[in-house]
Amino acid sequence: MSENYWSKFGHDRLSRRQALRAAGVTGVGLAGAALIGCGSSDEDAAPAVTQATAAAGSTTAAAPAPVSQLTDATLTSAIASDIGSGDPQSLGGTGGGNWPNTSTHFGGSGLVSTDQETRKIIPNVATSWEEAPDHLSIVFKLRDNAYFHNGDQLTAEDVKFSMDRGALGQAEYNLEYKGGHSSQYSAIVDHAEVIDDSTVKFVLKKPDVIFLNRGLFLVPKKHIESVGDVAYAEHPVGGGVFQFVSRIPDSEIVSERFDRFHADFGDPTGYHPSYIKKLVQKVIPDNQARFAALQAGEVDLIDKISPDIAGQLAKDDKFKVFNLPGTQPMHIHINTALENDPESGKPNPWRDKRVRMAANLAVDLDGIINNILTGAEALSFGSASSSVGFPKDLPSKRWAYDVEAAKKLMAEAGYADGFDAVLNLPVGRWPNSRQVSEVIAQSLTEIGIRTRIQELQYQEVTTRFKDDSLYPLSFWGMAGGDDPGANFRYGYHSAGNYTMSVPDPEVDALIEKSELEFDKAARAELLGQIMTKFYLDAQWIFLYEPVQQVATTNKWDWTFWAKTLGDPEYWNIKPAKA
Amino acid sequence: MARFLLMRLVQSVFTLFLVLAVVFVIARVAGDPVTLLVTFDASQADIDRLREELGLSDPLPQQFVRFMGDALRGDFGTSFRTNRPAMNEVLERVPASARLAGLSLAFSLAISLPLGVLAAVSRGSVVDLFARFLALVGQAAPNFWLGLMLIFFFAVRLGWLPTGGRGGLDHMVLPAIALGTAGAASITRLTRSALLDVLNSDFVVMARAKGLPRRTVIFKHALRNALIPVVTILGLRIGTVISGSVIVETIFAWPGVGRLIIQAINVSDFPVVQAAVTLTASAVILANLLTDIAYMLVDPRIRYVRS
């Protein structure tokens, strides 16, 4: 593991005893925490790193605390990026921003939520819902005690407005609003109707088996109509766990606990008012500078740190490091849509399954995970291992690293002499993607696929995905999540926006069937079949599920609630007991 | 003089036009920004609607004419990220960048002029060697490395100054040093060499022969003449400070234009990139124009000559 700027000068600050103590303190302080190695050069000093997977297994340990445990503490964090907009519905599909702030914090809860253990859909703002037998409409009954930060009660009018504004472009005032997260609804929802103050009905254009899994951000109708889109985005009002106080663009976001978040909602989701009273988030984009701010005592928590910094912090008993299992499995996308190589005009070798299998066998994923990444990443099988329908036996069928077998397959496919390939890499999109891509390019070259890396702007990659011109390989991440149905439609189905594969009638048929299958068990079975077939057909080079590393000072305790985490659960962090 | 000014003005406008054209082309060849604004599974109808709203479905020449017309009015469209006017996003950051640039230039001058003069008047001495060594190190050290080292020593180790972020003068000290060190180094070297040249010229020899005090000879006669190339380099430093601030502002979490550019590029927010690049290019062009004018005022022999 490479050293960073600080560690080169800071060795005198850490004794072996201190490092050992660090492992012990963190291990005891966090229930179920697992200690893992980070490739440290000091073999006696086991780095103290907490993984979400271990903690999340014990829901009781992470259960919401009673209100009496709430504190007046202020937590100051250093985050890598500012929010783009405070309006949760204005988030572009991939246009940046800071999701926990805009969605969980300011935006608030959705109509339904997901049980972290069973992954079942459970009530949230909606206490119940009923689908029509033809699945063309769904009626939600809302809580009578759900509130926005400004004190307005959340009613059916707000839900209808949220759908009209964010998805359908039917809100009458619609001043400035463009695009946004909920645009996925426009092909599905015909319109929304208010039945009464606490009942709302969505009329669909077609049955949508994953309707409940789609996230609709609920926004306050009266408030937005009163202040307008621009002012709303600058001073968001939602129903989230923190209420917005102030923001200096690119510098600081201040928010405070929303006391009515959990107390009125009951406990259907595990959400509760945050332990801390106030959250100050300082925007520090540079990884090393965030590290320095933590060391200097200016902040209590830093996010998105590199593995080398995490390794150093884990050895210091003044800090704790947390591994957050991500929700975006990474892979190398293979273009099999094109019949011929656009440069040489020769037949596209990637259409041969043996070539794709060889490419998967050629990559030493364990080596990448342990030497370049944090060591805590799980293997990717196309969809996240926490997804509905994930076949438990699929990991046993993994493409295990075997260069000789890969070379043999290349020879069988008629490519003993190899061929040239380009690995397209979106610049700076994913942490460590450059280093990982270099290893993959070398690995492929070793079996005869002479690969060079071509860096591209993310925008160019997304554009070329849509016309299948990105050839032949592309480093890519696809959102995971609870239900992979939407991902399969746009990433696996031959008609998807991000497929670039030669149509596979069997996979297409399975996806289409799963989209009409409302029986949960039967659908899970279909999803499992899709995952298995896609993986065993080696449609992509499957990589890993990324892990984000976060560090705090030892003055804070945090036992994860969620199984997968994109960002820190600020609401769930509390001052450590003396 | 009027002809000189006119020609420089025409050249500046033409340069700005080229900058705008390049900015327009780069924003279009990098892909379709609409793909970043919609979800992965957005329908083609959604994509087409948004493209229409943003005026991206028009032919390129038509888009270019509209872009140039809007640019002249300072309208670069709406930020994809914040949904606010792009130029407003940039202008809000200008004061922070200007403060940092001003302080870094002041730091450069405060260090370099005395050091350059001292080195020149005591040529070959320990002071001269020290100044030359400092100048060499200052020019060789990349500002991102220097910034991190400053943070480590003065913020983490000593705790004297904050690691970064927006705030008062204490927040600006380290970034200003990181940004101004390279300038201090180059101006030190230039001041030293220019002053050495002047000190050996006939009019300085004459001044000495007249029995003028050493201080008067150096500061009143020699230094004033030696500062002509320094004025030039100061103008050029404006551009260097702007480009350097892109990195320094990121390391020190200073919310200026440089950091905005990086952020906008990262999320392909091209309206903001276009506005920021146009504004910074305009600043550099203006600085160069003012430098030429200042140069001409300092040395009246300089005039526009048609080649």
CATH code of residue B200: 1.10.3720.10
Q: H or E stretch including A292?
A: helix A287-295
Q: Which residues of B touch A285 (CB under 8 A)?
A: 250, 253, 259, 262-263
pLDDT at residue B44, rounded to an integer: 73
Q: Tell whether B70 is covered by a domain.
A: no
* pLDDT at A169 (0 to 100): 64
Is B131 within a domain?
A: yes
C-alpha B236 chain-centroid distance: 8
pLDDT tens, residue by residue, B9-39:
898 889 989 988 988 888 777 677 777 666 6
Question: Which are the contacts of A206, defined by CB distance < 8 A and separation ≥ 6?
Answer: A136, A188
Q: Tell me the fold of A242-326+548-575.
A: D-Maltodextrin-Binding Protein; domain 2 (3.40.190)
Q: Where do runs of H (alpha helix) occur along chain B?
A: 2-29, 34-37, 44-53, 60-72, 86-121, 126-140, 143-150, 169-199, 202-209, 214-216, 223-251, 257-266, 270-298
Chain A hits for B267, CB-CB cut-off 8 Å, are 84, 95-96
> Nearest chain A Cα to B251, which residue?
A286
CB contact under 8 A, A460 and B46: no
Second-level CATH architecture of A7-43+83-225: Alpha-Beta Complex (3.90)
pTM of the predicted protein model: 0.79
C-alpha A243/C-alpha A482 separation (Å) is 27
Q: What are the Cα distances from residue A217, in Å, to A187, A380, B259?
A: 17, 29, 30
Which residue, A406, A421, A411, A407, is CA-closest to A346? A421
pLDDT attached to residue B303: 61
| Beta carbons within 8 Å of B299's beta carbon, 6+ residues apart | B228
**Does residue B74 sit within a domain?**
no
pLDDT digits (tens, 9 = 90+) for A246-276: 988 888 999 999 887 754 444 544 456 888 9
Reported as type and span, the H/E element at residue A425 is strand A419-426
Bridge pairing between strands A278-283 and A378-379: unpaired
B126-137 pLDDT, tens digit per residue, is 989 999 999 999
Quote the minimal CA–CA distance from A412 to chain B in Å: 37
Domain segments of chain A as ranges: 7-43+83-225, 242-326+548-575, 330-545
Selected for mutation to probe chain A from B82, B153, B257 (highest A CB count within 10 Å) is B82
Nearest to B54 by CA among B267, B273, B277, B270: B270
Residue B294 lies in a domain: no
Structural domain total, chain B: 1
Question: What are residue A30's phi and psi, to 5 degrees?
Answer: -120, 115
- DSSP letter at A154 equals P
Domain-located, residue B302: no
**Interatomic CA distance for residues B91 and B100, integer angstroms:** 15
Q: What mean pLDDT do residues B271-298 have?
A: 84
- For the record, the structure tokens of A238 come out as 């939602």
In the chain, the amino acid numbered A11 is H
Domain A330-545 class in CATH: alpha beta
SS3 A332: strand
Closest by Cα among A113, A121, A115, A79 to A99: A79
- What ipTM describes this predicted complex? 0.78
DSSP labels for A379-390?
A: EP-SS-TTSTT-
Say yes or no to pLDDT of B111 above 90: yes
Contact call for residues A122 and A112 (beta carbons, < 8 A): yes
Question: Between residues B238 and B121, which one has the greater pLDDT?
Answer: B121
Closest chain B C-alpha to A61 CA, distance in angstroms = 36
* pLDDT score at A295: 94
**Whole domain around residue B135: which residue ranges?**
94-255
Cα gap A27→A48, rounded to integer Å? 7
Q: Could you report the per-residue pLDDT of B189-227, keeping only the tens digit for each?
A: 999 998 898 888 888 888 888 888 888 888 888 888 888
Residue A549's beta-bridge partner residues?
A305, A323
pLDDT given at position A1? 37
Shortest Cα distance, chain A CAs vs residue B167, angstroms: 10
Please name every residue paired with B77 in a beta bridge, in sequence order, or none if there are none: none
Residue B300's CB is within 10 A of a number of other CB atoms, namely 8
Closest CA to A360 of A384, A339, A382, A378: A382
B-interface mutation test, from A183, A478, A492, most B Cβ less than 10 A away: A183
Spans in chain A with pLDDT lower than 70: 1-68, 90-104, 107, 169-184, 262-272, 480-481, 578
Residue recorded with tokens 């009458």: A172
Distance (Å, rounded) from C-alpha B201 to C-alpha B226?
11
Is B213 part of the contact surface with chain A (CB cutoff 8 Å)?
Answer: no
* Three-state DSSP class for residue A558: strand
Determine the pLDDT at residue A137.
Answer: 96
Residue type, A534: F
CB B42 within 8 A of CB A184: yes
% residues pLDDT > 90 (chain B): 25
Cβ of B35 within 8 Å of Cβ of A462? The answer is yes
- A59 contacts chain B (CB < 8 A): no
